[in-house]
Amino acid sequence: MFHEEVSDRYFKVTRNGVFGLSPGIELALVSSAQDARRFHLWEASPIEYLERLHLQNLLVPGLNRLEGIIHQANGELAIVTSQPRFEIIPVSVAEIDAWFASRDFQKITDSAYYRREDNLGVFDAHDKNLVRAGADLIPFDVIPCHPAGGFLAFIEETLAAGHSLRAVRTVTTHTK
């Protein structure tokens, strides 16, 4: 990541073929008394990465700008994006919860929220991925998605039962 003075934007280039994370469910081997479905984060594809940027722009219009795609010498693609520079003013969990609640999201984990009206889930929404900008919060590095299929059913069943999900991060990123 680097800061460009004239535009006052930070530029980010994906590297090593890694395009962030994508949420979903997986099946685990468990006893018959437990639910085998588990919330999970996987490495995202380039299209999932671009969708994530688009959905972040729906939360905060103009947040992300696609600057280009680079075909690197090693044959891999890299995506170049930029975001405006923000002062890093820490926010509390209570402020994050209130910000999402004011936008009709339900909390589904300590750092994830879901809004049924437009089927928008926002994951990894913790105090390191949101900053204060004036009176508002900016979710600059969260993982938004439109849950579908079994993942959507899992979220809806969890919320209906009054339970919460817990993320299990087993993703490893590989360097080449």
pLDDT digits (tens, 9 = 90+) for 89-142: 889 999 999 999 999 999 988 889 999 999 999 999 999 999 988 778 999 899
pLDDT at 31 over 70: no
Name the pTM for this structure: 0.82
Dihedral, CA atoms, 81, 86, 92, 94, nearest 10 degrees? Answer: -70
Q: What are phi and psi of 51, to 5 degrees?
A: -60, -40
pLDDT at 100 (0 to 100): 96
Sequence spans of domains, the chain: 2-160
Q: In the predicted model, what is the mean pLDDT of the chain?
A: 85
CA distance 46 to 67: 14
pLDDT digits (tens, 9 = 90+) for 35-64: 666 777 788 999 999 999 999 999 999 999
